[in-house]
A and B are shown apart, each in its own frame.
Chain A
Amino acid sequence: MSLVLRRWETLLAVLLALFVALGTALSPYFLDTQNFSDLADDLMEKAIMALPLALVIIAGEIDLSVESMLGLSSALLGLSFGLGLPLWAGIPLVLLVGALGGLLNGLLVTWARLPSLVVTLGTLALYRGLAYVVLGPRAVSHWPAAFNAFGFGDVPGTLVPWPLLVFALLAIVFAFVLHRTWIGRQLYATGKSQEAARFAGVRVARLKTALFVLSGTLSALAGVILTARLASARADNGQGFVLDVVTAVLLGGVNIFGGEGTIAGVVLAVFVIGVLRNALTLADVAPDAQSTAIGALLIVSVAGPNVVGRIRAAWRNREVLT
């Protein structure tokens, strides 16, 4: 019982319930299925990028370039489609570019041994710049109806948006791989101690490179989905997303220094952020001002347990002394 209560995921579930209650109190439309469907729509690109980023952070690295890879993917898809390349060829092409972008990040981190924080800060600027080089300030619209339907339509007969289905399937695969396979165990081992993991036979460089490739590929996929949902390919698509994505992963209980975290936590955190933003929107708080709440939530979620832990430790010491 106390073990369940002490788990981070339990706390997130309580927060989620709290925000749903808050939203319901604020507006009778909050519990409307359509509202929930819209809420999910807005979240899914960020949610899809949060999954591989969680693995990257658990392995002790970081990838800040995800939002720019999303933009580059959107711009490339727009360019190739505008040039007459059909989508069945264009989408695999941008996913491949995403993988290559991730490979560059991965090689710079593992082979050139540069810190991932700086490498991906560099590629954050580089990939966004390339997106502008590719498409300029234009927007490509006029997409096939089927493509748009994938972006903002629902799975036939349900209220489940297609992107939510993609995210759910990915989340299940990620949870299985991280928590039930040797790959997941190697990830945790690498994040806890890279040296120890290497001596235990983990091919750390290869593992980390693969993670960056995965992160690049899924960021490109998020770019395809966002392009479909907005029915518009633009170089500045997804600008500023990285803050929400990193916030979701850390709020989800993933340790910024690696070695700890669960997919369940990340999924819950994604929805906590989504529901909070939605509730605030219903309360007429502008999206930009909402970031105050998201930022505060992030800080309190990390500082809270630390401060409580220190107070508890001080209390225990007092008992020992008396």
Chain B
Amino acid sequence: MTSASRALAVAARLRELGIVVALALVVLVTTLLAPAFLHLDNLSQILLSVSLVAIVAAGETIVVLTRNVDLSVGSMVGLVAFVTGDLLKQHAVGLPEAILAGCLLGLALGGLNGLIVTVGRVPAIVATLGTLNVYRGLDFFVAGGKEVSAYDLPRSYLGIATSTAAGIPALIIAAAVIAAVVAFVLRSTRPGRALYAIGSNPPAAETVGIPSQRLVFAAFAASGLLCGAAGVLWGSRFGTVNAFAANGLELEVIAAVVVGGVNIFGGSGTVFGAMLGAVLLGTIDNALTLLRLSQFWLQAIDGAVILLAVGADASIRGAVQRALRVRGRR
């Protein structure tokens, strides 16, 4: 390992350590003020509420690594949640088919994003701002003011979210498995490493023969697929789905990714970091509720956490660069 890559690896670990320290601080302070916080039920509640955000954030990480962004995730989750719920309500298909249909719909929506970005050459932020509107609008067309309630849904579907394995809720297991798979692909496979290369230096990636366009398309498709999975689970968890489901989820997801240390300009960051970011934000939300702080502070604090996280990122990156320069001079 060269000194440069070692310094970067240390910095990355330092970054994730920073989130862990922040998380520990929140846990410590909250526990001192409200001992109920450390109750197993409450901890599992936090992870439950984080799990759907985490699944979507894993997909968002893939896209952001390639120096793109997917703003349409909230709309994709909402549309898939409604369509899946509606299929089950109409008794049009059985449960496995409905789940498959939801995931495939997510894949198709993500694939369309990918096509617009790669074939249409539309900057990702513009393309997905557009599809955020288009997919949400479609949701309204399909839903037409109706909603799917838990009463309409088969028990087998609602049971997915409430089921447990070895005492751990299925949602948390699903999020952990998805995160592990995405982390493995990004860390240890050729396409995964290529995604980092595309994000850190697009022309160089082209030069060494990486099929950038195809991989960027795949990244958007993967984000769509994970939104599909999250959408299916969304309906199962909340039971009631209307056209507003998951509205604004994109902000929570991007916040988790950014707080988790994934560089918004691509090329660096890990799924593990993004998961930690999601857990940190979810824990802060939960702590505020427990401390009976007004929910109105929630958004303001989320915003401040995002600013602090990027500020920390920038100063760490600056320090690493300075260290490398000193070493280079020697």
Contacts and interface: CB of A to CB of B under 8 A. Distances in A.
B132 interface: yes
9 contacts: A117-B125, A121-B258, A125-B299, A125-B300, A125-B306, A126-B302, A129-B301, A132-B300, A136-B296
A123 B311 CA distance: 13
B306 A118 contact: yes
Contacts of A286: 140, 145
Given A118-B264, A292-B141, A299-B126, A126 B297 contact: no
B299 A299 contact: no
B5 interface: no
A128 B297 CA distance: 10
Interface stretch (B46-54, B115-123, B147-155, B184-192): B115-123
Nearest to B134: A295
A121 B133 contact: no
Interface of A: 62, 108, 112-115, 117-119, 121-130, 132-133, 136-137, 235, 243, 246-247, 250, 256-257, 286, 288-296, 298-299, 302-303, 306-307, 310
Given A122-B307, A126-B300, A299 B127 contact: yes
Contacts of A306: 120-122
Q: Which among A117, A118, A132, A235 has the greatest number of chain B C-beta atoms within 10 A?
A: A118
B29 interface: no
Interface string B30-46: 00000000000000000
In the complex, the 4 A-B pairs of residues with the closest C-beta atoms, listed nearest first: A129-B300, A292-B137, A295-B133, A126-B303
A293 B138 CA distance: 10
A122 B310 contact: yes
A288 to B, nearest CB: 4
Nearest to A113: B314
Interface residues of B, number: 45
Interface in B298-325: 298-304, 306-307, 310-311, 314
B302 A119 contact: no
Interface in B132-170: 132-138, 140-141, 145
Given A108-B307, A256-B125, A303-B121, A296 B130 contact: yes
B307 A132 contact: no
Contacts of B131: 295, 299
B255 interface: yes
B294 interface: yes
A129 B299 contact: yes
Interface of B: 69, 116, 119-123, 125-127, 129-138, 140-141, 145, 243, 251, 254-255, 258, 264-265, 294, 296-304, 306-307, 310-311, 314
Contacts of A62: 125
Given A117-B264, A133-B296, A123 B116 contact: no
A303 B121 CA distance: 6
Contact of B307 (A117, A123, A130): A123
Contacts of A108: 307, 311
A247 B304 CA distance: 27
Contacts of B254: 121
Given A108-B307, A114-B314, A299-B126, A125 B302 contact: yes
Contacts of A302: 120, 122-123, 126-127
A62 B123 CA distance: 14
A231 B306 CA distance: 34
Nearest to B295: A132
Contacts of B306: 118, 121-122, 125
B249 to A, nearest CB: 13
A123 B310 contact: no
A121 B255 contact: yes
A257 B123 contact: yes
Contacts of B299: 125-126, 128-129, 132
Contact of A119 (B125, B126, B310): B310
A204 to B, nearest CB: 18
A292 B134 contact: yes
A299 B258 contact: no
A121 B306 CA distance: 8
